[in-house]
Amino acid sequence: MLLAHFPVVVITGARQVGKSTLLRHHLGESAEFVVFDPVVDVENARRDPELFLENHITPLVLDEVQYASELLPALKRRVDRDRRPGQYILTGSQQWGVLRTVAESLAGRAVFLDLDGFTLAEAAGVGERPHWLHRWLEIADTPSGPRTFERLAPRHGLLETLWRGALPDAQLLPREAIADFQAAYQRTYIERDVRLLADVSDWQQFGRFMRLAAALTAQTVNFSQLGREIGVTPQTAGRWLDLLKATFQWFEVPSYSGNTIKRVASKPKGYIADTGIACMSLALSGPAALPAHPQWGPIFETAVFAEVRKAAALMSPSPKLHHWRTGAGAEVDLLLERDGVFFPIEVKAASRASRHDLSGIHAFSRTYPHLRVAPGLVVCPCEAFARVAEDAWTMPWDATPID
């Protein structure tokens, strides 16, 4: 749809989420593809961008365009002369390398799309179905009961889905190849993407930092703790975490704060992008090792957050995402804000939810009585969508709306 309205579409996302595959599937033989390289000046695009563009017809896909940023001024001039939609599709796996240069050079001429790993529905082959989050934001005040949602039939069960992660290649590989796949992914990411973005003198130490960050997923961000664990300053830890964010490996959710006299935590909550990376960082040998591991809860929360984040990104405008925590320990894992309404979501890695699991949601409502707060939702590996209290429901983690 975006190609029908904008002359330039920019698709960004982490390494191996399927940017090029998606475009080849969608565009087929109707477009030319050029893949840029950090070392080789492909077709002299960096040396003579005008001639490079002259030699190609549109639609033209410029893959990993951050390696040929010299093209962007020439591209801007061409688009200014001809604003026909669907001419150029740019892709990249580095927010700094792509968004900064493209935003400066093609302001008002390009639209941006972030591509993620698979959602549960996509992995199950039913990606065209609406996401449960979209339906919940519409009917939270008036759900019709158990016939509102049903469960998907994922390709893999809960444990294996989390252990494999959401990258497309990880869905089809045999189980015995997953550990090698994840190790190669991290090594390629560190030695290629990070090396090109920043001056990191000790790659082994940065690899340890990435594994530590993955092991601390679903926790509030503490630069001092991250730095202390591997012997670097909090400032260095902060810069390295920015690298992970710039390459779509780490996402943060800001803390919600309102006009209240209560002390509310101001630190963001951080999540590794993919649960497969988290499991690899924790040296989990297989899916069966997950439930007994101390990080089982955070890994499950990371998976639910990824689903919420991906679903929210497809909404226009996207709801705002927060977390909420007081100094006394009351917390809400995820808090979505849309149209002046707040939707609190708790995540529990247990097959049953109880009223006790609603304590944070109730504390939030008491703290902000002037806000419009929707009924609470507890997402867990339960069997069915069901009411757990007058003002709260439980949702299976692999739910999908019933048409």
- What mean pLDDT do residues 87-113 have? 73
Task: Give the integer Cα–Cα distance in Å for 262 and 116.
Answer: 37
Crossing angle for the helix pair 203-215 and 234-246, to the nearest 10 degrees: 80
pLDDT tens digits along 129-159: 889 999 999 999 888 777 889 998 777 889 9
Tell me the per-residue pLDDT of 301-349, one tens digit each, with 9 for 90 and over. 999 999 999 999 988 889 999 999 988 889 999 999 999 999 999 999 9
User: pLDDT-based confidence at 259, cuts 50/70/90?
Assistant: low
28 and 68 assigned to the same domain: yes
For the chain, give the mean pLDDT.
88
pLDDT beyond 70 at 263: no
Instruction: Please give the pLDDT value at position 1.
Output: 66
Question: What DSSP element (H or E) covers 301?
Answer: helix 296-313
- Are residues 21 and 68 both part of a single domain? yes
**Token pair for residue 68?**
């040929």
Radius of gyration of the chain (CA): 22
| Pair 42, 156 in one domain | no
Which residues contact residue 15 at a Cβ distance below 8 angstroms, ignoring those fewer than 6 apart?
Answer: 93, 185, 188, 189, 193, 247
List pLDDT tens digits, range 213-251.
988 999 998 888 888 888 888 888 888 898 888 888 999
CATH of the domain at 9: 3.40.50.300
- Give dist(CA 271, CA 253) in Å, integer: 8
**Is the same domain home to 88 and 139?**
no
Residue 64 has pLDDT above 80, yes or no: yes
Report whether pLDDT(99) > 70: no
In 3D space, the residue among 111, 199, 149 whose CA is nearest the CA of residue 387 turns out to be 149
pLDDT band, very low/low/confident/very high, at 264 (cuts 50, 70, 90): low
388 and 262 in one domain? yes
Q: Count up the domains in the chain and report the number.
A: 2
What per-residue confidence (pLDDT) applies to 110? 81
The dihedral built from the CA positions of residue 43, 46, 52 and 53, taken in this order, carries a sign that is positive
* Alpha-carbon span 77 to 357, nearest angstrom: 57
Q: What is the DSSP letter of 351?
A: S
Could you tell me if 80 and 160 lie in one domain?
Answer: no
Asked if 197 and 325 sit in the same domain, the reply is yes
Q: What is the mean pLDDT of residues 350-355?
A: 89
How many residues can be counted in the chain?
A: 403
Shared domain for 397 and 253, answered yes or no, is yes
Same domain, 67 and 130: no
Instruction: Give residue 300's pLDDT.
Output: 97
Contacts of 132 (CB under 8 A, 6+ apart): 149, 311, 395, 399, 400, 401
The domain in which residue 330 lies consists of 120-401
DSSP string, 317-329: SPPEEEEEEBTTS
Model confidence, pTM = 0.89
Domain boundary among 69, 84, 115: 115
pLDDT digits 0-9 by tens, 9-19: 988 888 888 88
What six digits make up the tokens of 180?
């090698």
Last residue of some domain: 115, 147, 168? 115
Boundary (domain end) residue, out of 64, 85, 115: 115
Same domain, 108 and 124: no
Considering the domain architecture, whether residues 248 and 290 belong to the same structural domain is answered as: yes
Claim to verify: residue 11 and residue 141 sit in the same structural domain: no
